[in-house]
């Protein structure tokens, strides 16, 4: 069976309050479509001739189809065939989750995701064993690594075409599972934060004086958002065992004050009380009695004194493509030493 790659590009990502209170950007629809076209061209160069995409009403599809039509008129034929999922479009993050579920059922070889932490979390909810590879187009992009989409597409195409062994191609990832009262478990890929705000409202986190407890899968001083707070205290790698828990307080009363980039262009004083490593498989019970739970930088759940909360870090929770490892393998093994047309033939 010929390999098929899924692409999820949700036009509603990167549209939150951080574009107002900070300096967060938002890619235009034409820019997102151009990213998709770069990925498509790279996939085709690696022999992938079938792509399954998420439908949307934001305009990405129209730009992409015009780009493909221009290529056909020039007799270039440098893009794979595209099919769109048969699913309703709600214009919310739920579209990304539904698309991931349908792509998993269709047994795609990999899913390319355009978005930030929230979009990737929506995809991981239903992607199962299908590996994902991210392209940063969101507001907070702690989880998806910054990389030229053409290279991402080449790596996805090589893996989908079976030219890279699994032990090289895939990386295992941690995630956090959150249980609040009797609600179904929720997940976070990067961080879970408890804040004193007793309502969800504008979902993005930006008022540092409300932060009280933080749990992260990795702590990276090179990113922005809540994971940056932990990373500037004690870095914890994506591939290291366990995560980190941080107790926070208002900067005016805290033992230590840390200047941290909690959003693009927004560096805020963060009060630090204590921190410790968070081993996998151990349920942590937060101390805050009432407020909201934020998942990957967005407030999702309100809770009060009657709700029991647990946060557990899970190891080996989902797979991603290890793009640097794939590209280094390709270079060492001469996978790109033929011309582009010969590469496609060789991968057939």
CB 37 within 8 A of CB 65: no
What per-residue confidence (pLDDT) applies to 148?
96
Share of the chain above pLDDT 70, in %: 90
Residues 270, 204: one domain? yes
Whether 204 and 294 share a structural domain: yes
Give 138's pLDDT tier (boundaries 50, 70, 90). confident
239 and 142, same structural domain? Answer: no
Residues 285 and 263 in one domain: yes
User: What is the mean pLDDT of the segment spanning 173-191?
Assistant: 96
pLDDT at 342 over 90: no
Q: Do 179 and 308 share a structural domain?
A: yes
- What integer best gives the mean pLDDT of the chain? 90
Query: With 80 as the cut, is the pLDDT of residue 347 above it?
Result: no
Residues 163 and 26 in one domain: yes
Cα dist. 315→172, 190, 214, 218, 312 in Å? 8, 13, 18, 12, 10
Q: What token pair was written down for 141?
A: 């992009």
Domain that holds residue 46: 4-172+317-346
Both 122 and 181 in one domain: the answer is no
**What pLDDT, on a 0 to 100 scale, did the predictor assign at position 206?**
67
Q: Are residues 92 and 218 in the same domain?
A: no
Q: Supply 49's token pair.
A: 């001739």
Q: Do 233 and 121 share a domain, yes or no? A: no
- Please check the confidence at residue 15 and state whether its pLDDT lies above 70: no
Identify whether residues 288 and 210 lie together within a single domain.
yes
Q: Is residue 23 pLDDT above 80, yes or no? A: no
Is 119 within 8 Å of 113 (Cβ atoms)?
yes
Q: Kindly state whether residues 197 and 300 are assigned to the same domain.
A: yes
Please report the pLDDT score of residue 300 as a whole number: 87
Residue 145: CA count within 13 A, CB half-sphere: 13
Bridge partner list, 132 = 111, 320
Domain count, the chain: 2
Residue-wise pLDDT for 146-158, tens only, equals 999 999 999 999 9
- Burial profile 115-140: b = 16 or more Cβ within 10 angstroms, e = fewer: bbbbbbbbbbbbbeebbbbbbbbbbb
Query: Ranked by mean pLDDT, which of 204-218, 289-303, 315-329 comes out on top?
Result: 315-329
84 and 189 housed in the same domain = no
CATH number of 184's domain: 2.60.200
What pLDDT, in 10s, does the model give residues 49-97? Answer: 999 999 999 999 999 999 999 988 888 778 999 999 999 999 999 999 9
| pLDDT recorded at residue 19 | 42
Q: Do the strands 211-216 and 191-195 form a parallel or antiparallel pair, or are they unpaired?
A: antiparallel
Report whether 173 contacts 188 (CB < 8 A): no
> Residue 177 burial (CB < 10 Å; 0-12/13-18/19+)?
middle
Determine which of 19-33, 231-245, 272-286 has the lowest per-residue pLDDT on average: 19-33
């Amino acid at each position: 069976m010929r390999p098929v790659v899924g692409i999820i590009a949700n036009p509603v990502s990167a549209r939150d309050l951080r574009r107002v209170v900070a300096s967060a950007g938002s890619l235009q629809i034409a820019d997102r479509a151009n990213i998709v076209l770069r990925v498509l061209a790279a996939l085709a160069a690696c022999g992938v001739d079938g792509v399954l995409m998420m439908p949307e009403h934001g305009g990405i599809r129209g730009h992409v189809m015009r780009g493909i039509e221009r290529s056909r008129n020039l007799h270039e034929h440098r893009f794979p065939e595209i099919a769109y999922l048969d699913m309703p479009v709600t214009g919310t993050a739920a579209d990304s989750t539904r698309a991931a579920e349908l792509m998993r059922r269709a047994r795609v070889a990999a899913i390319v995701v355009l978005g930030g932490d929230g979009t990737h979390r929506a995809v991981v909810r239903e992607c199962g064993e299908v590996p994902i590879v991210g392209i940063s187009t969101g507001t907070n992009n702690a989880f998806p690594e910054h990389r030229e989409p053409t290279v991402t597409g080449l790596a996805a195409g090589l893996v989908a075409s079976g030219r890279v062994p699994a032990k090289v191609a895939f990386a295992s990832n941690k995630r956090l599972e959150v249980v609040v009262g009797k609600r179904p478990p929720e997940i976070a890929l990067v961080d879970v934060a408890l804040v004193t705000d007793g309502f969800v409202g504008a979902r993005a986190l930006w008022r540092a004086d409300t932060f009280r407890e933080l749990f992260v899968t990795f702590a990276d001083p090179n990113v922005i958002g809540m994971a940056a707070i932990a990373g500037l205290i004690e870095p914890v790698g994506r591939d290291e065992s366990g995560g980190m828990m941080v107790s926070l307080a208002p900067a005016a009363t805290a033992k230590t004050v840390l200047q941290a980039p909690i959003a693009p262009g927004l560096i805020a004083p963060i009060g630090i009380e204590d921190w410790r490593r968070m081993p996998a498989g151990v349920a942590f019970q937060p101390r805050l009695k009432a407020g909201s739970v934020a998942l990957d930088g967005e407030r999702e759940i309100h809770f009060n004194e009657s709700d029991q909360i647990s946060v557990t870090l899970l190891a080996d929770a989902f797979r991603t493509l290890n793009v640097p490892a794939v590209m280094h393998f390709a270079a060492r093994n001469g996978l790109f030493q033929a011309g582009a047309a010969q590469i496609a033939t060789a991968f057939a």
